[in-house]
Structure 1
Amino acid sequence: MRVEHIYRYPIKGLTAEALEEVTLKPGECLPHDRRFALAQGDAPFDPAAPSWMQKRHFGCLMANARLALLHTAFDPRSGQLLIRPPEGEPLVGDTRSEAGRAEIAAFLTHFLGEEARGVPRFVEAPGHNFTDVAAKCVSIIGLASLHALEEAAGMRLDPLRFRANVYVSGSHPWAEFDLVGQEIQLGGARLRVFKRIVRCPATEVNPETAERDAKPPKVLREAFGHADLGVYAEVIEGGRLAVGDALEPLQGDMLH
């Protein structure tokens, strides 16, 4: 299987950023992936003592489809975050200062309107990632599986609906499910695949228009008997990963 795309999502629920290459570290997500989140005002998240929480506590596409209309870009060197709304002036906020984070939170809160609960906070906790599952991991989707879903749905589905880190080509539909429990070589890194990804209503949202114009979980259940697309893997040995690299199972020969 061949790596076709690599993405990170610096702010939970917001814009994907394409990468040509990345260095993976043991037990970590992609660098800067889900590093920040907009915690709703009633969320009990404490940046001083971070713990994993369900996505409903944060701004997320499952509940806040209009977030897809925002285009964001994060510069890890300067800490600056650009947020460009569909109309009006963009914001450049400093994620490293308390005033900057407050400015970003106010901008996002105003954009969410009635969907904002209480006084949301733009949060970061060093060493913590705002992932959908409790483990720090890398998400992988086989494009053949996505194409099978598209065929069943009778429409094109933007791969970014599914917010994976790595998209791979060159295998048959659902081949990645055979890797659960196995170790894989992904570029220069070694990972262990531990779980299939159950899809939620966030995937109904078109990342270009913010419209809920498809029902991938429903189509998956009706056509394939499950609501899963892609797998989660934890990094065991770090290394460089680049577009064009191979994904190979390290036990047996399950992918053809």
Structure 2
Amino acid sequence: MRVERIYRYPVKGLTAEALEEVALAAGETLPDDRRFALVQGDAPFDPDAPAWLPKRHFACLMANARLALLHTAFDPRSGQLVLRPPEGPPLPGDTRTPQGRAAIAAWLAAWLGPEARGRPRFVEAPGHAFTDARAKCVSIVGLASLHALEAAADAALDPLRFRANFYFSGGVPWAEFGWIGQEIQLGQARLRVLRRIARCAATRVNPETAERDADPPRWLRRHFGHADLGVYAEVLEGGRVSVGDALEVLTSGQ
């Protein structure tokens, strides 16, 4: 099996950024993955005492499909985040200053319009990741499983609907569900597979058009008896992972 794509998502709900390689660290997510979020004004999130909250408290594709129309780029060295709408000038924002974060929040709130609740805040909480999973982990999707869903539903699905960190080829459909509790070698890193990923309404959103033009959760239930695609895995031993690296399931004792 082979790693075909690697992505990080610096802002929860916004653009995927493709990577050729990444350095994983034990017990962490991908560097800068879900580092920022637009917190809805009525959400009980405290950046000084960050705790996991369900996605409904943040701007997210499940509730805010229009986010898919934005193209973003984040430079972790400078802290600059550029927001590009389909039309009009981009917003370059400085994520390292209160003024810069306030400007980003105001711009995104205006973009969401009535979907913005109260006065949203653009936040970062060092050491915290705004992931859907409570534990720090990475997400992995088998392209064979995705292709099985496409064939069953007779529909083409952009892999980015599923917002995974790693996509791999090879193997048989749904084989990754049998890896729960097992360790895998991903490039130079060693991980333990934790659980399957249950899919929500976010996958209905076309990442190019922002239209809700498909229903992967319903199709999964109809054709396969579950609504899961992909798995979460925790990093046990860090290391570099590159596109083209092998993914290997480790046998007991390795």
> What range describes the TM-score normalised by the shorter chain of this pair?
over 0.9
Aligned residue number for residue 187 of structure 1: 187
What SS does the corresponding residue of 1:149 show, helix, strand or coil? helix
String of CA shifts for 1:66-104, please: whole Å, max 9, x gaps.
Answer: 000000000000000000011111100000000000000
Gaps of 5+ in 2: none
What SS does the corresponding residue of 2:223 show, helix, strand or coil? helix
Distance in 2 separating the partners of 1:87 and 1:57:
28
What SS does the corresponding residue of 2:68 show, helix, strand or coil? helix
Aligned runs of 1:168-247 on 2, under 5 Å? 168-247=168-247
String of CA shifts for 1:42-85, please: whole Å, max 9, x gaps.
Answer: 00000000000000000000000000000000000000000001
Aligned runs of 1:56-71 on 2, under 5 Å? 56-71=56-71
Aligned residue number for residue 92 of structure 1: 92
Distance in 2 separating the partners of 1:180 and 1:37:
29
What SS does the corresponding residue of 1:51 show, helix, strand or coil? coil
Aligned residue number for residue 132 of structure 1: 132
What SS does the corresponding residue of 1:114 show, helix, strand or coil? helix
Aligned residue number for residue 107 of structure 1: 107
Gaps of 5+ in 1: none
Shift of 1:153: 1.6
TM score, norm. by length of structure 1: 0.98
What SS does the corresponding residue of 2:133 show, helix, strand or coil? coil
Alpha-carbon RMSD across the aligned residues, in angstroms, is 0.6
Distance in 2 separating the partners of 1:21 and 1:128:
22
The residue type paired with residue 193 of structure 2 is V
Task: Point out the more displaced range, 90-99 or 149-158.
Answer: 149-158
Shift of 1:251: 1.5
Aligned residue number for residue 118 of structure 2: 118
The residue type paired with residue 137 of structure 2 is C
The residue type paired with residue 128 of structure 1 is H
Question: How many equivalent residue pairs?
Answer: 252
Shift of 1:131: 0.3
Shift of 1:178: 0.9
What SS does the corresponding residue of 2:66 show, helix, strand or coil? helix
Aligned runs of 1:10-49 on 2, under 5 Å? 10-49=10-49
String of CA shifts for 1:183-229, please: whole Å, max 9, x gaps.
Answer: 11000000000100000000000000000000000000000000000
Distance in 2 separating the partners of 1:40 and 1:87:
25
What SS does the corresponding residue of 1:234 show, helix, strand or coil? strand
Shift of 1:144: 0.3
Aligned residue number for residue 79 of structure 2: 79
